[in-house]
Amino acid sequence: MRLGNTVDTPGGGMVYAVNCLGPQFEGSAFAAELLGANLHEPPGDELVDAVEEAMARYAVVVLRDQQIDDAEQVRFARAFGPLELPPHMGMRPAAMKVRVGYGLYDISNLDADGNFLPEDSLRLIFNKGNENFHTDSSFNTLPTKWSMLSARVLPPSGGDTEFCDARAAWDALPGELRERAREATAEHWLWKTRVDAGKMQISEEMRNAMPPARHPVVRTISESGRRSLYLGAHVTHIVDWPRDESDRFIAAINGHIARPEFRYVHKWRLGDLIVWDNRCTLHRATPYEVFRHKRDMRRATINEYGPEVSSTTALGIPPPKVELTSPY
């Protein structure tokens, strides 16, 4: 497998083409498409190797033409690590009608009957939060590895996804900021963007179910050995730093990662399945007309290791006893 080439794998097996899509930085590249996969079949070693190799090099890989169902998406995801199951967040009613298959996150604007969600639905509020550059589940103690988003229905315009390469951002970071980043630990909190937007009341149960988590600001990706910046919209503060210093630093680093030269904008095609590395990229959704056009996206997310659980199960937090009435 080589950049821009179709190369026979030894033994005459499957052939995959990997083409660079996104910005090329000095000595590295960021987003690529992988052609020739067929996820209707169980992923074999050759495909797993090809995806892992492409992910180590690029960090965003688009598998084209995958008109898959939920079970096929989950099967593919599990070939790379244990699923991170959706948490109840202290608010998921037991009787909620779930629209998507086991293990998947619903990123759509639709209810279980395929109709548009109402304006005050929880999912629309969460989707709105996705319009800030973030990295998935950075508020979890468990280290989320990759997300895999499948496009099932797309709006005619809007609803792109933008990605930033936080490895290239680290490589280009000025020396003084690098020194400070190296010694910084950030706290990440799920409710941050929702509280900032003034859209949500956080109950005690919700607060307890999704506590903050702390992670170093600089991390090394084991598969490539590259360093990366790990911040994004879920960060509330740098641990043990004065508030104003912390705020300025977070704004500076997040602003730096989001610079256009580190960015790849994906215009979705039906059947695209995008795999991205949450450890070294940020992403955000762009707006679309949510009460006019359907956008059905489904996400599998995997951890680097550990059991296949949600963050709430991992923390031993049972779902709320009192059932909420909202079906959303």
Asked if residue 277 binds Mn ion (CB under 5 A), the reply is no
Is the Cβ of residue 16 or residue 191 nearer to Mn ion in the bound state? 191
Is the Cβ of residue 61 or residue 184 nearer to ligand OGA in the bound state? 61
Asked if residue 136 binds Mn ion (CB under 5 A), the reply is yes
What, of Mn ion, ligand OGA, none, does residue 107 touch, CB below 5 to 8 Å by kind? ligand OGA
Q: Which helix (H) or strand (E) holds 71?
A: helix 70-78
Is the Cβ of residue 105 or residue 262 nearer to ligand OGA in the bound state? 105
Is the Cβ of residue 3 or residue 265 nearer to ligand OGA in the bound state? 265
Is the Cβ of residue 171 or residue 277 nearer to ligand OGA in the bound state? 277
What, of Mn ion, ligand OGA, none, does residue 161 touch, CB below 5 to 8 Å by kind? ligand OGA
Q: Which residues bind ligand OGA (CB under 6 A)?
A: 107, 130, 136, 147, 149, 161, 283, 285, 297, 299
DSSP codes, 119-185:
TT-HHHHHHHHTTS-B-TTTTSSS-EEEEEEEEEE--SS---EEEEEHHHHHHTS-HHHHHHHHT-E
Tokens 């059932």 sit at which residue?
323
Number of residues that bind Mn ion (CB under 5 A): 1
What, of Mn ion, ligand OGA, none, does residue 137 touch, CB below 5 to 8 Å by kind? none
List the x/- string, 178-207, binding to Mn ion by CB under 5 A.
------------------------------
What, of ligand OGA, Mn ion, none, does residue 281 touch, CB below 5 to 8 Å by kind? none
Whole-number Å distance between alpha carbons of 125 and 132: 12
Strands (E) across the chain are located at 5-8, 15-20, 24-25, 28-29, 31-35, 60-63, 105-106, 144-153, 161-165, 185-188, 213-216, 218-221, 226-229, 235-238, 263-266, 273-277, 281-285, 296-303
Half-sphere exposure of 226 (CA within 13 A, CB side): 25
Is the Cβ of residue 130 or residue 281 nearer to ligand OGA in the bound state? 130
Is the Cβ of residue 74 or residue 173 nearer to ligand OGA in the bound state? 74
Residue nearest to ligand OGA (CB): 285
What, of Mn ion, ligand OGA, none, does residue 297 touch, CB below 5 to 8 Å by kind? ligand OGA
List the x/- string, 25-44, binding to Mn ion by CB under 5 A.
--------------------
Which of 74-79's residues contact partners 24+ apart within 8 Å by CB, and which partners?
Answer: 74/101, 74/102, 74/103, 74/104, 74/300, 75/39, 75/42, 75/43, 76/39, 76/43, 76/148, 76/273, 76/300, 77/103, 77/148, 77/300, 77/301, 77/302, 78/302, 79/43, 79/47, 79/48
What, of ligand OGA, Mn ion, none, does residue 310 touch, CB below 5 to 8 Å by kind? none
Per CB under 5 A, residues contacting Mn ion are: 136
